[in-house]
Structure 1
Amino acid sequence: MNTAMQTTHKVAALYIEKLRDMNYVDTSELPSKMMDEFNLKPQLAIDFILALETLDDSIDHINTKILLRLIDETFAQIRYSMDRKDKKAVSLITQAQEALNTVCPKLGNNIRVGLNQTLYDSKLPLEIHSVDPCNINQKRSQPIDIMPKLPELLESLRRQKVYKTVFELYEMVVPQFQAFSDENQLALIAEMGCSKKPIAHELSVLMLLHPKASVRRVVAKVLLQLADTKHFTPIDVRRLITLRNWVPVDERSEIDAIVSHLRRNGVSPAPYPSTKISKIVGSSTDGAGVLCVFIEAKKNNQRQIAGFLLKINVGIRDTSMVHKAPKQYLDDMINEQAKNNLPMKPVSKTYVNKIVRHFLSETIENGNVPDATFIEIAELVGADNWQPQALSWEAEVDRLREIYQDQLSDVSIQRSLQRSGDWHMREDIAHSWFDTGELAEQVVIEAANQHESNPSASLEDITTRLLMKDRLDKWKWVLLFTCLWMRSQQVHELTADLLVVLHCLDKQIDVAKIPLLENIAAQTAANVCRREMLLLL
C-alpha cells in the first residue's frame, strides 16, 4: 500500500476511533459534539470512500456504519457546495467519482449495498461503475439471472410486510438497481412492466421518475411497447398523468402516448383518494434558501405525516412519509425544529399549492425530477393541481404592494426599513440569514482590500454591495417567500415591513441603504471570520 493511501486510511481511522470513544451507537446522525470538535470538510469524502477497502464485508459492523455515515455527511457538504455553485464542487465530484472507481471493485456485495443507498440518498451525480453485482464475472450487457424471478420476489416481500406501499418499495429497490448497468436496469423494468403481479407493474410506472436520466428517458418507450391494457389500472393512469408534468418537456411525448392508448381502450384515471387534512405547517425560508412543509392527514382512519423540503434555485429536495403516525408525532417534529431555531407556523393549502408549483418548475428547469414519494404526498392531500408553474417575483411584489399601498409613503418606508433592520436575528422570522461558501469568503477578502485602499469608505457598505452583487437574486426570493409565509393562514403583524424591503428592491434602491441587507452582509462576514478562526485551532 502506498504512503498516500496509508495516510488516507489513518484519517478515516481517526474519525472512526473518535466516534467509538463517544459511544456512538445511533448512526442516523452524527453527534453534535463531533461536529463541534471537528471541521468535517467536504473533501474528506474522498478519504472516507477510499478507506472502505479496509473494512470486512459486514454491513452491521459498527466501523462500517460509522464510515458510511461519515461519507453521507461529507456528501451532504458537497451537495451544499454544488447548490451554492462553488467552483470546488465540480472538482470534488470528479475526485469522489475517481475514488469510487478505484475502491468499488474491491468491495464485497454487502458494503456495496450500503454504499449504493448512501449514493442514492446524496442526490449527487455519482455512480458505481462496475460489473453487475449478481455475477461479478459477467459482462455488463449480458442479461441477469434475477430478471424472471423479480416480480415474484417483490410479491413475496409484500406478503412478508417488508414494505407497506409501492413508494416504500421504490425507495428500497432503486438504490440497488443503480448498481446494475443501464441495460440491465431497463430489462428489469420491462420484466416488471409485463408482470401480472400488481405491485411489480405499479413499480414499473414509478420508474418514470428514476433519478438517472439515461434510464428514465427510455422507461417510457419500454412501457409504451408493453402498453397491454389488462396490466394498467386506473391508479396507474392517474399517476402517469401526474408525473407526466413532473419530467422534463422532452420526456413527455411517450407518456402522453401511453395515456392516450389507455384512454382509447377504456382505462380512465382514478380519482384522488378522499383524505382529511388536519394540519399544515411550514417554515420560514432560511439563509440557504430552504423551506419545509409538514402535512398531517387522516386516510382510512390512520394518521399520516408528509414532509418535504424546497430550495431556491434547486427545486423539490427531500421528501418523507410516515404511516400510522402517533397522535403527537407532528407536534414533536415541530418542537424539534423549534430547538434548532427554525421558525414554523400553520399555513394554508393555497400557500402550499403556490410554492409547490413554483419549485416543481425549478426542479424540471434543472433537469431533475421529484422523488416518487412526492406522488404519494400529492395523493394524500388530493393535490391534482400540483403542476409546474413558476412565480414571477415582480408580479408577486406588485400584488403585495396593492395590499399594503398605505404603507408606502416616504416616511413609512424609512420607518419600516429601520424596524426590519435586525430581522436577521428574530427567531420568529429568520434562521441563519447569512451566506456561506467560496463567494462569502471572497467577498470578505475583497471588502477588506477595498477598504484598505480607501479607508474613508464604509466597510459595511462595501461588504453589502459586493455580496449582493452576486447573491441579490437569491435574497430577493428568500424575502419574498418569507413574506408569503408570514401572510399565510394568520397574517404576521410585521408583514408590511418586509413588503417595504421588497418594494425597495423592486425600485432598485442601493442595497447598502437597506439595513436588513447590510446586517445580513455583516452576519456573513462574521460567520466567515468565525470559521477561519476554527480552522486555526
Structure 2
Amino acid sequence: MASAIMEQAPELALDLPDLMVAENGKKRPNQGLLTAFGFMLGQGIEVLRYGLDRASPDAAATVAELERRLLEMGRAGRLDPALLLVVLQHYGAAKLPPGDGLRELMAGLMERAEEFGRQPQPGAGPGAHFADLVRETGGDPFLIHGEMARFGHALPEEHRTAMAHAGLNAEQAAMREAGIGWLLDEGAMVRAAALDSLAGLAENGAISPVMLRRLIFLRNWLPEGERPGLDAVVQTCRRKDVTCAPLPQATIVDVAASGIDGAGAQSFFVLVKEGRKHAVASLLVKFGAGIPDAWVQHGLSKREADAFLMRIEQEVELFDASAPHLAAVLAHFLAIGLEAGKAPPFGLLDFVETAGLSAVNPGRVSVDGLIGSLLEAIPPARRKPASANKAVKASALWAEDYAFTDHWFEDDEDVNQALSAKKRMSDAKRMDLLLADILPARRLRWAEIIGWTAALLRQEEANEDWPAFALVAAELRGDRPLAEIPVMARIAWASVEAWKHRGGGKRGQGRS
C-alpha cells in the first residue's frame, strides 16, 4: 500500500522528515510510527531515484527540495545524528548518493555529538567498535563491509577515507579482509587510501592468502588507471612468498534467472551446496548501470534454501539458466559498469566465490555479436525470411507465455514530453507518435534486451521459443518498420499506459 502511494506521489516524501522529527522529539516516541514513516520515506526515495534514472525534472526538483529541507532542519538544530543517519541509510538502500551538503551535515552532527550509538567517529579509536562488529557478524568480511559501507554512505569522502585506513590497519584479521571492499568505493580518494594501506600491509607480510586471491580477482574490476597500484601490491605479496588461496569447492545445485524487465534489470539466483549446508547467491544486473547488487545467504538448510527460492518464484517468473551463461552475463555487465564509472558491489566477490566461478573479467558482448551467435545456433531452414516473418507475428503473443514482457515499456522525460505536447490525443495516436518519433532511436536497446532474453531462454532444455526472440532481435537491427513488429507496438501501448498511470493523461504536463 505504502509503495503504491509513494509511486503515485513521491513528493509526499518531502513531509516525512518533519513528521519523523516531531515524533522523535516527544517524551515517548511511538517507535512503530517512526518505523512506518521511515519505510514510507525509503519507498519515496526509491521512486525518486527511479525518476532520476529516467532524467525526470520533477524527480530532480523533488530530490533537491528534500535535501534543502533536511539541511535547513539540520542547521536549525532539529535533526540529531541518529535520525539523519536513518534518512541517509534510506538513500543508500535506494542507491541514491546523498548530496555533499547532507554528508557534511552528517559529519558535523557526529562531531558535535558526545556519543553516537555504537558507531565510531572517524579517527576516534575504533578498536572496540571493530571487535563488536566482528563478533556480531561472525567475522564475515562481506557482512562487516556491508555495515561499514552502509554507515559510510552517509559521510563525506574524507571520512570514508579514514574508515578505510582504520579498517585495513585494524588488529582484527576479519576487518582487514573486509577492508578490501573500499577498493570499490565511489570515491577516488577512498580507493587510493585503500591501495596505500594495502601496500603497507603487503610490505609487512600482513595480507593473507584469501586476501591475495580476492585482490587478484577484482583487479580488472577497478578503473584501468588504478590497476598498476594493485599489481604492485600483488607483486609484493609474491615477493614475500604469500600463497594464493584456492577457491572454495562449490557444488552448484541450480541456476535460475528472472526475465529482463522494462528498466533493463535482471536477477540471477544460484543454489549452492556448501558441505551439509546450502547457500543462495543473488545477482542483479542492469543495462546501462552494470551490477548494482550482489549478495549471498549462507548457512541454510536444504529446506530453508528451497523455501527461500520458492518465495522468490512466487513473486518473480524464473527460468532455468546455466553457469556458463551466468559467467557471460557477469563479464558483460562488469564491462557495462566500468564504462558507466560504476564499480560493482563488494558482495560480488562473495557471489563469485560461492558459485565457484573462476576469475570473471569484464568482457562486453556487442549487440550484433550476441545476435549473430544466436542466429548461428538456429538451423538454416529456420533463419529464412518466412521464419522471421512468423517470429515477428508471434511476438504479439509473447506476453501470454512470458509475463515479464508485459512490463516492457519506455518511461522517461523524452516520452513524457512527446506525449504531453498535445493535450487532446487518442491513445492510438500516442502509440503512433512513439513508434514514429521515440522508439526508432531505441531500436538498439530493444534488440539488446530481446537478444539477451533469447540467450536466457536458450538455456532452458525444452524451450522452443528462443529462436523467435533471436529473429525478432535481428529484425530490430534491420529496417523493418516498428509498426510492423507487434512487440514494439505493444511496448508503445505499455508506454502510453505507464505515462497515464503517472498522471500524464490527467493534466497537461504528466509526471514522467
2:79 — aligned with what? 107
Task: Tell me the SS of whatever aligns to 1:481.
Answer: helix
What CA distance in whole angstroms lies between the structure 2 residues aligned with 1:223 and 1:100? 37
**1:432: Cα distance to partner?**
0.9
Opposite residue 395 of structure 2, the aligned amino acid is: S
Give the 3 Å change call, closer, same or farther, for CA 175–447 of structure 1 in structure 2: same
Q: After the TM superposition, which of the residue ranges 273-282 and 252-261 deviates more from structure 2?
A: 252-261
Kindly indicate whether residue 54 of structure 2 is the aligned counterpart of residue 84 of structure 1. yes
User: What does the per-residue CA deviation read over 1:162-201, in whole Å, with 9 as the maximum and x for residues that have no partner?
Assistant: 4451111111122223444433432333233233321221
Q: After the TM superposition, which of the residue ranges 460-469 and 392-401 deviates more from structure 2?
A: 460-469
Mapped contact 1:59–1:110 kept (Cα < 8 A):
no
Task: Tell me the SS of whatever aligns to 1:360.
Answer: helix
**1:449: Cα distance to partner?**
7.3
What CA distance in whole angstroms lies between the structure 1 residues aligned with 2:273 and 2:286? 27
Task: Tell me the SS of whatever aligns to 2:204.
Answer: coil
Give the 3 Å change call, closer, same or farther, for CA 425–97 of structure 1 in structure 2: farther
What CA distance in whole angstroms lies between the structure 1 residues aligned with 2:18 and 2:50? 22
The one of 477, 493, 496 equivalent to 2:467 is 496
Mapped contact 1:486–1:492 kept (Cα < 8 A):
yes
What CA distance in whole angstroms lies between the structure 2 residues aligned with 1:148 and 1:320? 30
2:446 — aligned with what? 475
Mapped contact 1:314–1:362 kept (Cα < 8 A):
yes
What CA distance in whole angstroms lies between the structure 2 residues aligned with 1:421 and 1:320? 36
1:155 — aligned with what? 131
2:213 — aligned with what? 238
Kindly indicate whether residue 259 of structure 2 is the aligned counterpart of residue 288 of structure 1. no
Q: After the TM superposition, which of the residue ranges 244-253 and 348-357 deviates more from structure 2?
A: 244-253
Mapped contact 1:479–1:498 kept (Cα < 8 A):
yes
Q: After the TM superposition, which of the residue ranges 322-331 and 240-249 deviates more from structure 2?
A: 322-331
1:24 — aligned with what? none
Give the alignment's TM-score, normalised by structure 2: 0.87
1:25 — aligned with what? none
1:202 — aligned with what? 177
Q: After the TM superposition, which of the residue ranges 424-433 and 230-239 deviates more from structure 2?
A: 424-433
Kindly indicate whether residue 494 of structure 2 is the aligned counterpart of residue 523 of structure 1. yes
What CA distance in whole angstroms lies between the structure 2 residues aligned with 1:218 and 1:93? 31
Kindly indicate whether residue 417 of structure 2 is the aligned counterpart of residue 442 of structure 1. yes
Give the 3 Å change call, closer, same or farther, for CA 315–181 of structure 1 in structure 2: closer
Give the 3 Å change call, closer, same or farther, for CA 333–79 of structure 1 in structure 2: farther
The one of 466, 471, 484 equivalent to 1:513 is 484
**1:460: Cα distance to partner?**
4.5
CA-based RMSD of the aligned residues comes to 3.0
Opposite residue 43 of structure 2, the aligned amino acid is: E
The one of 20, 35, 53 equivalent to 1:65 is 35
Give the share of equivalent positions with the same residue, in percent.
Answer: 21
Give the 3 Å change call, closer, same or farther, for CA 78–59 of structure 1 in structure 2: farther
What CA distance in whole angstroms lies between the structure 2 residues aligned with 1:250 and 1:103? 41
Task: Tell me the SS of whatever aligns to 1:128.
Answer: helix
2:23 — aligned with what? 55
What CA distance in whole angstroms lies between the structure 1 residues aligned with 2:501 and 2:233? 56
Mapped contact 1:52–1:107 kept (Cα < 8 A):
no
Task: Tell me the SS of whatever aligns to 2:10.
Answer: coil
User: What does the per-residue CA deviation read over 1:345-369, in whole Å, with 9 as the maximum and x for residues that have no partner?
Assistant: 1210011001111111111211111
Matches within 5 A, 1:305-320: 305-320=280-295
Give the 3 Å change call, closer, same or farther, for CA 69–485 of structure 1 in structure 2: same
What CA distance in whole angstroms lies between the structure 2 residues aligned with 1:135 and 1:420? 60
Task: Tell me the SS of whatever aligns to 2:461.
Answer: coil
1:343 — aligned with what? 317
Give the 3 Å change call, closer, same or farther, for CA 273–529 of structure 1 in structure 2: same
1:266 — aligned with what? 241
Task: Tell me the SS of whatever aligns to 1:507.
Answer: coil
1:224 — aligned with what? 199
Mapped contact 2:169–2:176 kept (Cα < 8 A):
yes
What CA distance in whole angstroms lies between the structure 2 residues aligned with 1:482 and 1:396? 11
1:136 — aligned with what? 112
Task: Tell me the SS of whatever aligns to 1:416.
Answer: helix
The one of 88, 91, 109 equivalent to 1:116 is 88
Opposite residue 101 of structure 1, the aligned amino acid is: L
Task: Tell me the SS of whatever aligns to 1:527.
Answer: helix
2:361 — aligned with what? 387
Give the alignment's TM-score, normalised by structure 1: 0.83
Matches within 5 A, 1:237-256: 237-256=212-231
Aligned pairs, number = 493
